[in-house]
Amino acid sequence: MSSIGASFRLARAGWVLVREGVIAALPGDELTGLPKFGWRLAVMFTRRRALKRVRSDRLANAIARLGPSYAKLGQFLATRPDVVGDDIALDLALLQDAMATFPMSEAVAAIEGSLGRKASDLYTRIDAPVAAASIAQVHPAEVATPEGPRKVAVKVIRPGVRRRFFQDLESYFLAARLQERFVPSSRRLRPVEVTETLAQTTKIEMDFRLEAAAYSELGENTKDDPGFRVPAVDWERTGRDVLTMEWIDGIKLSDVEGLRAAGYDLKAIAATLVQSFLRHTLRDGFFHADMHPGNMFVDTNGDIAAVDLGISGRLGKKERRFLAEILYGFITRDYMRVAEVHFEAGYVPRHHNVAAFAQAIRAIGEPIHGQPAETISMAKLLTLLFEVTELFDMQTRPELVLLQKTMVVVEGVARTLDPAFNMWKTAEPVVGHWIAGNLGPQGLLIDARDGLGALMSLVRQAPDLAARTERLSRQIDAMAENGLRFDAETAKAIGNAEARHTRSGRVALWVIAAAAVYLVWVVT
């Protein structure tokens, strides 16, 4: 029954996207065969007034009809330009704060239910919301302290959003499975794995205690960094459904004229923003992954204050080294080293030729040399790099795509503040310092220390590993002698699972087809 419900919800979502002109806005002229026929049908059933709107407005209207779970889906897909394309990702990014607010009474009920205390005992005042997104809205409030009243920001979860999201999640998985089955070219993008990532990240984002922990971690990492900070968390007034933190008085980075009128040095702010992002990425391996200008303020001290840490990114040591080495390789025109790094990291399969891959890398790097540095985009370079790696069977790496997307946004904000922004000159101190510390003699000592620690851990586990090896050897001998056997119950369970999978897939397809026919009949 859940498959049937998911099929109807998916059919409804598709119909809304058709009627609001979202499908018609796609480049259907480039399609052929059945997909082009489907696109032409979508154009026929699009509302006339929707055809007069730009694509971003069509998306906004469709999301408003589909609800907050689809706004969350759009926000997530905005972080995956490899899946939806750069242009659509930019349109989806505009949906971040496009949701309607919900009543104050529901917000107070959520606060009291999460914290187990009356709102009047926690806050001396709670004002009307000033911002609303797919999962939550933000209220200005005030708390009493020994030093006097203190203004805070209270983020409250949207009522019913968890139940609605997990219902719609079934239809997302159905769409992903159908895409993998019937569109073989999309399998490289791993749509089911992308949907699993969406489910996991949204579970985390819907628990505000985890977002508070992200604020705390980023705050500790950046406490000594110049010009960047995040608001402090009020843990006493934070729970699963509510997050209370320091109120930031400042000017958004999206208000360039306001920043200029206030007398701020826009070039210095741009440099601080980019250097902070690279420092968090390379040094800490933990970065704010939603750094659009509406989420960043310049406070009264002239520091950049970042909010909304619902989406964050992590890079392991291998990924950080990968990033630093490819940037350094492009700077020094050492394309063979850039290619070797891809193979060493395991990103490109070994059956490919390193020299041929280096040739493809050269095709990206050579055009940028000889150009003025301020015209060379680091984010664009990474985008081209990922496009070329597709030719060499490099599988989608979600952590690198999230990094690339965030870098596109950060670099774009910097160029808005300073049109002559020189990304390479600004990045050089941070990247150069990290390379010196991690790829030079000091880095070799650190690697040796880490390797010695891993070796000692392996030695401590040696007795257990020997016992497991002996058991495995006996089991292999037994299988070689007697063959691999299933008991009757296991064989029956496998048969039932396969039959259920096939049956549910057929039911889903028939329900979608029936819903489509019904909708066409209603319209005509």
Q: What is the pLDDT of residues 354-393, one digit of tens each?
A: 898 888 888 877 776 656 655 666 666 666 766 676 677 7
Q: Which of 107, 313, 75, 310 is nearest to 210 (CA)?
A: 310
Q: Which of 233, 258, 56, 83 is nearest to 152 (CA)?
A: 233
The CATH code for residues 98-247 is: 3.30.200.20
* Cα–Cα distance, 21 to 23 (Å, whole number): 6
Catalytic residue flag (residue 225): no
- pTM score, two decimals? 0.71
Amino acid present at 220: E
> Domain boundaries in the chain?
1-97, 98-247, 252-439, 441-483, 486-523
Give the residue ranges of the chain where pLDDT is below 70: 1-3, 29-31, 56, 75-98, 185-189, 331, 368-383, 385-387, 389-390, 394-399, 401, 439-459, 465, 477-524
SS3 439: coil
SS3 347: coil
Q: Which of 306, 297, 292 is nearest to 90 (CA)?
A: 292
pLDDT tens profile 263-273: 999 999 999 99
* Cα–Cα distance, 368 to 487 (Å, whole number): 63
* Cα–Cα distance, 320 to 442 (Å, whole number): 16
Kindly give the residue spans of alpha helices, DSSP state H, lying in 262-377: 266-279, 317-332, 335-344, 354-365
- Angle at 353 (CA atoms; ends 350, 358), nearest 5 degrees: 115
pLDDT tens profile 195-221: 777 777 778 888 999 999 999 999 999
- Angle at 241 (CA atoms; ends 236, 247), nearest 5 degrees: 55
| Annotated catalytic residue within 168, 290, 308, 418 | 290
Q: How many CA atoms lie within 13 A of 95 on its CB side?
A: 31
